[in-house]
């Protein structure tokens, strides 16, 4: 094995430009994947982070456990099921609540809680056994739970003119946008894989002559191992380069939502999928090439 | 005209390689096209987002940087590809030069091929990108057209530049140098 690594490195040294171009092409693809994927992850988490940030001095909306549905025709929130009796009194007793109002036109069973400290109120509601979440998805509570979900929507100072319906829809739209980003991330992953694969295929094709000469002196199997070691080393270089490149681009272009964690998620995905798929994807064409007669390889070499 | 005919014949002779190169160029172009076309969708939703918790400026910035990265990576990828293609054929340049073909004609051969790969790759990439859009929301026609125009344009121009630069260098140098260039 060390001998093969030494040989592979010697091959690189001899063809510095070729190795550099292949590694550069791999770096570009991996970098693009890391960037787009990290962005889509960050986007999704920043969506929920933005909602939590809005807790600041927002109102708290209490909705029934069975959830709410948006009736687009009437432009209203319809609550599924009524609020349990006594809830209003219970909520009024929680700390920091300054007022409770049943909101008209927002469907039955929806309460608007004005609170001087929504975080404390939220914590108190949680202690009372109520499901507390700022995640709109959680307003659809699991069957059987009698708990209520509360949803913290946006800051009333800024968005006072919007109704609960509008705010709720905005959060939904937010999720849709995140899912578009998710699709973009996944497609980029697939395209990046094909991009890396095609650049490896070209690097196999470039070496027809070399393979032909080696096959002519009868060392086909060793050539395959040599190629495997060489392309593994190349992929490793491309992966590291791409991760650094993608991470640096992310930090440069989106400093607002950059975090090592999101980049690391993309890195984990890339480093799990790429090496396995690529070594298989590059090895099979190389093996097929070596099945041809050396004469043909030499004749068709570019 | 002679140069173009020679170029086409060379492409036809190495069909497999030509296919592989077009594929590589198409994948890079597909990335550019897809991200550009979808960034329109994300941007359209950003308008409604100003109501929600997320900062619309952030979405705008994300959309812009996505497009920027997609164009840059697609362009660089095609550039690297064309450089490799020309370097691979240094020997041919040497042979042509040594047999007395005018420098201008050799230049035309490589320029034509570079533009051809860029153009074919760009158009193929747009088609592939459009097919992939099935997984996401379909981009609007105007949005898709704009993305296609940018993709094909960038792919062709960068491919031409990346192909011409090394070819020009090789054509200017003595024939022996190009002949002894190993790849």
Count CB-CB contacts under 10 A for residue B131.
11
Question: By CA distance, what is A167's nearest residue in B?
Answer: B52
> What total number of domains does chain B contain?
1
Q: Who contacts A120 (Cβ-Cβ below 8 Å, separation ≥6)?
A: A95, A96
Instruction: With CB atoms and an 8 Å threshold, state whether B38 touches A183.
Output: yes
% of chain B beyond a pLDDT of 70: 88
Q: Which residues does chain B have within 8 Å of residue A54's beta carbon, measured at their own beta carbons?
A: 53
A279, pLDDT greater than 80: no
User: How far lies A51's CA from each of A43, A154, A170, B60, in Å?
Assistant: 13, 7, 11, 18
Q: Which residues does chain B have within 8 Å of residue A159's beta carbon, measured at their own beta carbons?
A: 51
Measured over the CA atoms of residue A238, residue B31, residue B131 and residue A201, the dihedral's sign is negative
Q: Which residues does chain A have within 8 Å of residue B41's beta carbon, measured at their own beta carbons?
A: 180
**Contact with chain A for residue B83, Cβ under 8 A:** yes
Report yes or no: B37 and B138 within 8 Å, Cβ to Cβ.
no
Pick from A45, A153, A202, A256 the residue to mutate for testing the B interface (most B CBs within 10 Å).
Answer: A202
Q: What is the pLDDT of residue A226?
A: 81
Query: Same domain, yes or no, for A108 and A39?
Result: no
**Contact with chain B for residue A194, Cβ under 8 A:** yes
Mean pLDDT, to the nearest integer, of B113-127?
91
Measure the CA–CA gap between A98 and A92, rounded to whole angstroms: 8
Query: Same domain, yes or no, for A187 and A292?
Result: yes
Q: What is the pLDDT of residue A57?
A: 44
| pLDDT single digits (tens) B128-144 | 988 887 776 677 788 88
A50, pLDDT greater than 60: no
The answer to whether residue A62 is domain-embedded is yes
Task: Dig out the tokens for B113 from the structure.
Answer: 């091929």
Query: Same domain, yes or no, for A90 and A136?
Result: yes
**Contact with chain A for residue B73, Cβ under 8 A:** yes
Polymer length in residues for chain A: 302
**Contact with chain B for residue A11, Cβ under 8 A:** no
Select the residue of B27, B34, B52 nearest A174 (Cβ to Cβ).
B52
| pLDDT single digits (tens) B55-96 | 566 777 777 888 888 888 888 888 888 888 888 888 888 888
Task: Dig out the tokens for A179 from the structure.
Answer: 């899912």
Select the residue of A17, A46, A181 nearest B87 (Cβ to Cβ).
A17
Q: What is the pLDDT of residue A162?
A: 43
* Range(s) of the domain holding residue B121: 2-33+69-179
| pLDDT single digits (tens) A198-235 | 888 888 888 888 888 888 888 777 778 888 888 888 88
Q: What is the pLDDT of residue A245?
A: 92
Instruction: With CB atoms and an 8 Å threshold, state whether B81 touches A199.
Output: yes
The answer to whether residue B51 is domain-embedded is no
Pick from A14, A32, A292 the residue to mutate for testing the B interface (most B CBs within 10 Å).
Answer: A32
The answer to whether residue A30 is domain-embedded is yes
Measure the CA–CA gap between A242 and A77, rounded to whole angstroms: 47
Burial letters B151-183, b for 16+ CB under 10 A, else e: bbebbbebbbebbbebbbebbeeebeebeebeb
Report yes or no: A134 and A58 within 8 Å, Cβ to Cβ.
no
| pLDDT single digits (tens) A69-79 | 555 455 455 55
Measure the CA–CA gap between A115 and B110, rounded to whole angstroms: 72
Question: By CA distance, what is A11's nearest residue in B?
Answer: B183
User: CB burial class (10 A; 0-12, 13-18, 19+) of residue A61?
Assistant: buried
The answer to whether residue B76 is domain-embedded is yes
Query: Same domain, yes or no, for A179 and A35?
Result: yes
| pLDDT single digits (tens) A95-149 | 767 666 554 344 445 566 666 665 666 667 666 666 555 444 444 434 333 334 4
B46, pLDDT greater than 80: no
The answer to whether residue A29 is domain-embedded is yes
Give the domain CATH number at A65: 3.30.70
Select the residue of A188, A201, A249 nearest B35 (Cβ to Cβ).
A188
134-173 of A, contacting B, C-beta below 8 A = 154, 159, 162, 166-167, 169-171, 173
Q: What is the pLDDT of residue B77?
A: 86
% of chain A beyond a pLDDT of 70: 55
The answer to whether residue A158 is domain-embedded is no
Cα A101–chain centre separation: 39
219-278 of A, contacting B, C-beta below 8 A = 249, 253-254, 256-257
Query: Same domain, yes or no, for A232 and A202?
Result: yes
**Contact with chain B for residue A53, Cβ under 8 A:** yes
Q: What is the pLDDT of residue B120?
A: 92
Q: Which of A79, A87, A77, A48 is nearest to A63 (CA)?
A: A79
- 3-state SS of chain A? CHHHHHHHHHHHHHCHHHHHHHHHHHHHHHHHHHHHHHHHHHHHHHHHHHHHHCCCCCCEEEECCCCEEEECCCCEEEECCCCCCCHHHHHHHCCCEEEEEECCCCCCCCEEEEECCHHHHHHHHHHCCCEECCCHHHHCCCCCCCCCEEEECCCHHHHCCCCHHHHHHHHHHHHHHHHHHHHHHHHHHHHHHHHHHHHHHHHHHCCHHHHHHHHHCCCHHHHHHHHHHHHHHHHHHHHHHHHHHHHHHHHHHCCCCCCHHHHHHHHHHHHHHHHHHHHHHHHHHHHHHHHCCHHHHHHCCC
**Contact with chain A for residue B138, Cβ under 8 A:** no
Q: What is the pLDDT of residue A184?
A: 78
Pick from A136, A246, A302 the residue to mutate for testing the B interface (most B CBs within 10 Å).
Answer: A302
Q: What is the pLDDT of residue A159?
A: 31
The answer to whether residue A164 is domain-embedded is no
Query: Same domain, yes or no, for A291 and A213?
Result: yes
Pick from A48, A174, A250, A255 the residue to mutate for testing the B interface (most B CBs within 10 Å).
Answer: A174
**Contact with chain B for residue A115, Cβ under 8 A:** no
Say which residue, A166 or A290, is predicted with more confidence. Answer: A290
Question: By CA distance, what is A171's nearest residue in B?
Answer: B52
Question: By CA distance, what is A183's nearest residue in B?
Answer: B136
Measure the CA–CA gap between B40 and B35, rounded to whole angstroms: 9
Report yes or no: A286 and A212 within 8 Å, Cβ to Cβ.
no
The answer to whether residue B166 is domain-embedded is yes
- 3-state SS of chain B? CHHHHHHHHHHHHCHHHHHHHHHHHHHHHHHHHHHHHHHHHHHHHHHHHCCCCCCHHHHHHHHHHHHHHHHHHHHHHHHHHHHHHHHHCHHHHHHHHHCCCCHHHHHHHHHHHHHHHHHHHHHHHHHHHHHHHHHCCCCCHHHHHHHHHHHHHHHHHHHHHHHHHHHHHHHHCCHHHHHCCCC
Specify which residues A71 forms β-bridges with: A76
Burial letters B19-36, b for 16+ CB under 10 A, else e: ebbbbbbbbbbbbbbbbb
A247, pLDDT greater than 70: yes
The answer to whether residue B135 is domain-embedded is yes
**Contact with chain B for residue A67, Cβ under 8 A:** no
| pLDDT single digits (tens) A154-200 | 333 333 334 444 455 555 555 555 567 777 777 888 888 888 888 88
Query: Same domain, yes or no, for A111 and A208?
Result: no
Query: Same domain, yes or no, for A94 and A22?
Result: no
CA distance A25 to chain B (A): 6
Question: By CA distance, what is B77's nearest residue in A?
Answer: A25
User: How far lies A131's CA from each of A21, B90, B169, in Å?
Assistant: 56, 70, 70
Q: What is the pLDDT of residue A179?
A: 61
CA distance A144 to chain B (A): 30
Select the residue of A184, A195, A254 nearest B136 (Cβ to Cβ).
A184
The answer to whether residue A157 is domain-embedded is no
CA distance B32 to chain A (A): 10
Query: Same domain, yes or no, for A192 and A259?
Result: yes
Report yes or no: A253 and B68 within 8 Å, Cβ to Cβ.
yes
* Range(s) of the domain holding residue A198: 2-49+175-299
Measure the CA–CA gap between A174 and B53, rounded to whole angstroms: 8
């Amino acid at each position: 094995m060390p001998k093969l690594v030494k040989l592979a490195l010697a091959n690189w040294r001899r063809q510095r430009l070729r190795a550099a171009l292949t590694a550069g092409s791999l770096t570009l693809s991996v970098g693009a994947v890391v960037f787009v994927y990290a962005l889509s992850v960050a986007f999704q988490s920043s969506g929920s982070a933005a909602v939590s940030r809005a807790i600041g001095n927002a109102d708290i909306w209490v909705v029934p456990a069975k959830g709410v549905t948006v009736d687009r025709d009437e432009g209203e929130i319809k609550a599924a099921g009524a609020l349990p009796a006594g809830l209003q009194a219970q909520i009024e007793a929680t700390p920091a609540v300054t007022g409770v109002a049943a909101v008209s036109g927002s469907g039955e069973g929806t309460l608007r809680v004005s609170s001087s400290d929504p975080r404390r109120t939220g914590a108190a509601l949680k202690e009372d056994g109520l499901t507390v979440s700022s995640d709109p998805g959680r307003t659809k509570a699991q069957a059987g739970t009698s708990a209520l979900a509360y949803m913290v929507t946006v800051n009333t100072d800024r968005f006072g003119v919007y109704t609960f319906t509008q705010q709720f829809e905005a959060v939904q739209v937010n999720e849709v946008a995140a899912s578009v980003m998710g699709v973009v991330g996944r497609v980029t992953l697939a395209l990046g894989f094909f991009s890396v694969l095609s650049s490896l295929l070209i690097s196999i094709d470039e070496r027809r002559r070399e393979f032909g000469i080696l096959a002519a002196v009868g060392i086909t199997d060793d050539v395959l191992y040599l190629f495997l070691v060489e392309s593994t080393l190349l992929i490793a270089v491309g992966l590291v380069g791409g991760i650094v490149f993608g991470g640096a681009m992310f930090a440069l272009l989106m400093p607002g939502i950059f975090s090592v964690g999101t980049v690391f998620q993309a890195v984990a995905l890339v480093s799990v999928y790429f090496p396995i798929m690529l070594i298989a994807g590059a090895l099979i064409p190389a093996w097929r090439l070596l099945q041809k007669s050396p004469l043909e390889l030499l004749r068709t070499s570019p | 005209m002679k140069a173009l005919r020679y170029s086409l014949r060379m492409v036809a002779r190495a069909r497999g390689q030509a296919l592989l190169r077009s594929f590589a160029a198409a994948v890079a172009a597909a990335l550019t096209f897809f991200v550009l076309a979808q960034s329109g969708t994300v941007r359209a939703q950003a308008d409604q987002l100003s109501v929600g918790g997320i900062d619309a400026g952030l979405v705008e910035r994300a959309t812009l940087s996505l497009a920027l990265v997609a164009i840059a990576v697609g362009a660089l990828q095609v550039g690297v590809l064309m450089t490799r293609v020309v370097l691979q054929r240094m020997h041919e340049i040497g042979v042509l030069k040594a047999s007395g073909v005018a420098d201008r004609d050799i230049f035309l051969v490589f320029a034509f091929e570079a533009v051809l790969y860029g153009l074919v790759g760009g158009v193929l990439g747009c088609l592939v990108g459009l097919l992939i859009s099935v997984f996401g929301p379909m981009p609007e026609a105007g949005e898709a057209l704009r993305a296609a125009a940018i993709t094909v344009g960038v792919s062709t121009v960068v491919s031409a530049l990346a192909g011409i630069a090394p070819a020009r260098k090789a054509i200017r140098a003595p024939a022996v140098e190009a002949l002894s260039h190993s790849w």
